[in-house]
Every structure is written in structure tokens, then in C-alpha cells.
Copies of this chain bind each other. A is one copy, B any other.
Amino acid sequence: MPAQGAAPSPTDAPARVALRRARTLVEPALLHWVDRLPGELRRIARYHFGWNDAAGAPDQGLVGKALRPALVLAAAEACGGRAEETLPPAVAVELVHNFSLLHDDILDGDTTRRHRATAWTVFGSPGALLTGDALLSHAFRVLADEGSERAAAAVRALADATTLLVEGEHTDVGFESRETVPLQACLSMSERKTAELLACSCELGALWAGAAPDRVAALRRFGHHLGLGFQLADDLLGIWGDPALTGKPAGADLAARKKSLPVAAALAADGAAARRLAALYRPVDPDGPPETADQLAELADLVERAGGRGWAERAAEEHAERAATALAESGATGPAAEALAGLAALACRRDT
């Protein structure tokens, strides 16, 4: 099977520029706000974001690709706003995203993220949990720093998105103990856990720039489809991605029996491959020997033969197209629209 991964394309350039620029603009503002956290929480947050190592010494700097801030800034510019004046929502969505990573890593027991030890493994679960709490309240603090009506609207939008994100995470945790999960339930969970904050990022940029409601709504739809494409691509990489690029061992999602979208689609299909997959895709004895590479390759092959891979690839393309349609409906033109189109293309290949 060919490895799923990033094919560099010349049309990626505007998106790459937008990501780099978002990082450059947002990193100092984010650090400024993180440094307003008290005591030990600041130390844990500085570690989690990548500015410090576990001992508190300088580290590589902001890890992560700043996709959400880039969407905020480009959406604002697509509505006539200026990126430099849109830093509060760009910082706020990155704070919420990282709040959710801190809590997810505890709940999932994940020990590495972005090739670094997760915060709870370094500072303990209480420290990571409470630092997540502080990042969440800080996100609203940043938005409300100016006492404007747009600040209140942004707080409402971000709070609603966060509640749905958290509910999506709760649903996802519940999936672990279920033998099968209907495809529709998987999609609905991804809409909340992943797409909601990406949709909200676009919404906040447009809101902050003072865009009309239908424009805000169109950019929100754009972010929603980008988000679903992003999750589909992420799930494809979780099975067929190159471990050197994903930072996860090959077949890790299959070994963990994750109910990812390609798997749910395969299990929902008819035929021998789907039946064989269903028979094999049962909880693994955690005390038993790890599965061999051949066993994991068979699972991946069954997902593919049952149609899960093809379905997910087509669905990712479809969401990329629907994102493009929504972008056109937003009336965005010029460099910011090009950046948004490029960000959607990257996201739907999970190349961010």
C-alpha cells in the first residue's frame, strides 16, 4: 500500500506563508499572555507550548503549526480586517486548542505529543489538568481585554465552540469501551471534537473584522468543512501515514483499536473484508504480546479492501470542495482568500 502523506505543491505557497506569518505574529502575543499565568502554571504552560524544556531552560520555541491562528488572521483579512489587530482571537483559539490537548493527553494516557513528552508525564496529572483549566479561562480573558461588543460576541462564539469540543472529547472517550460505533456517530463526534474549533477560528476572524452575519456564517462553514477534511486526513495518516512524518509508530491507531472514520466506514460495509475486520477488531489484551507488523498490516489491508480508505479519501476531497464553495460564498477575494484556500488544501491532506 502506498504511504499517505504530503505531496508538496507550488500552490501551497500562500498557505505556507500564512502559517509562518501567523506564528511570527502570534507567538510573542501568546507568550505575553502565558507569562501572565501565576507561578508553577506558567512553568507548565511554557513547557507545553515549547518555550522551555522540562528543567525550565529555553527550548525550541512554539511547537505546533498555528493552523487555528492562521485561520483567524486570514479570515479577518478576507473581511477587510488587519492581522495585527486580530491577535486577541488568534491567541484565544490557540489557548483553547492547547487546553484541550492538555486534558486529552491525560484522558487518553498519551505520553508523547509533537515528539516531546506530554506535560502530565513531566509535571503530573494535577499540574497538567489545572494548567489546562488556566489556559481555558485565560482564553476568555484575552478576548475580553477590550470592552467592546465584538469582544462579547467572540466570548459567546468561543464558549459555545469549547462546550461542543469538550462534549466531542467525552463522546470519543466513550467510544473506547464500545465494540462498534456507527459511522454517523463517528462523524458527529469529529464535527464537535475537531471541526468546531476550526469553524470557530474562521468565525472569530470574520467577527473581529466586523463582517456582516452572512459572511461570518460562510466563513464558519468554510472552517467546518476544512475541519472535517482535516480529521479525515488525520485518520488516514493514522493508518497509512509515514511514521517519520506523523511521529507515531505505523499502525498505532489500529493497534489501539481506535474507532477512526476509515475504520467505522469499513465496518459499516458489506462483504467478506468487512466481516473479517469486525472479527479481528476486538479489544486487545493489554497484558498480551503486542501485535506484529504483519497483523497490523492485515488490519490496514482489510480497512482498505472493505472500502474504508477510498470512502475517507473521497470524503476528504468532498469536504475540501465544500470548503471551497463556502469560501466563494463568503465573497473573499485576493491574497487572504488564496491563503484560506491553501490552508484548506493543506488541512485536508493533514499536511499542517
The stretch among A13-21, A126-134, A284-292, A326-334 that forms the contact with chain B is A126-134
Residue interface bits A163-182, CB-to-B below 8 A is 1, else 0: 11011011101100000000
Query: Is A140 located at the chain interface by the 8 A CB criterion?
Result: yes
A143 surroundings in chain B (CB, below 8 A) = 155
Main secondary structure of the interface of A (DSSP, over half): helix
Whether A133 touches B166, Cβ cut-off 8 Å, given contacts A144-B156, A151-B152, is yes
Q: Are A140 and B140 in touch, CB under 8 angstroms?
A: yes
A48 surroundings in chain B (CB, below 8 A) = none
Instruction: Name, among A99, A164, A170, the residue most crowded by chain B CB atoms within 10 Å (CB to CB).
Output: A170
A84 surroundings in chain B (CB, below 8 A) = none
Q: Are B38 and A163 in touch, CB under 8 angstroms?
A: yes
Name the one of B107, B127, B132, B152 contacting A144, with C-beta atoms under 8 angstroms: B152
Cα–Cα distance between A145 and B152 once the two chains are bound (Å): 8
A148 surroundings in chain B (CB, below 8 A) = 149, 152
Query: Is A160 located at the chain interface by the 8 A CB criterion?
Result: yes
A136 surroundings in chain B (CB, below 8 A) = 133, 136-137
For A140, give the chain B residue with the smallest CB separation: B140
Q: Are B129 and A41 in touch, CB under 8 angstroms?
A: no
Query: Is A159 located at the chain interface by the 8 A CB criterion?
Result: yes
Cα–Cα distance between A155 and B150 once the two chains are bound (Å): 13
A37 surroundings in chain B (CB, below 8 A) = 163, 167
Name the one of B41, B140, B160 contacting A170, with C-beta atoms under 8 angstroms: B41
For A156, give the chain B residue with the smallest CB separation: B144
Return A123 CB to nearest CB of chain B, in Å: 10
Cα–Cα distance between A145 and B159 once the two chains are bound (Å): 11
Query: Is A40 located at the chain interface by the 8 A CB criterion?
Result: yes
For A167, give the chain B residue with the smallest CB separation: B38
Query: Is A31 located at the chain interface by the 8 A CB criterion?
Result: no
Q: Are A170 and B126 in touch, CB under 8 angstroms?
A: yes
Q: Are A129 and B107 in touch, CB under 8 angstroms?
A: yes
Q: Are A146 and B152 in touch, CB under 8 angstroms?
A: yes
Query: Is A153 located at the chain interface by the 8 A CB criterion?
Result: yes
Query: Is A162 located at the chain interface by the 8 A CB criterion?
Result: yes
Cα–Cα distance between A173 and B126 once the two chains are bound (Å): 8
Return A231 CB to nearest CB of chain B, in Å: 18
A38 surroundings in chain B (CB, below 8 A) = 163-164, 167, 192
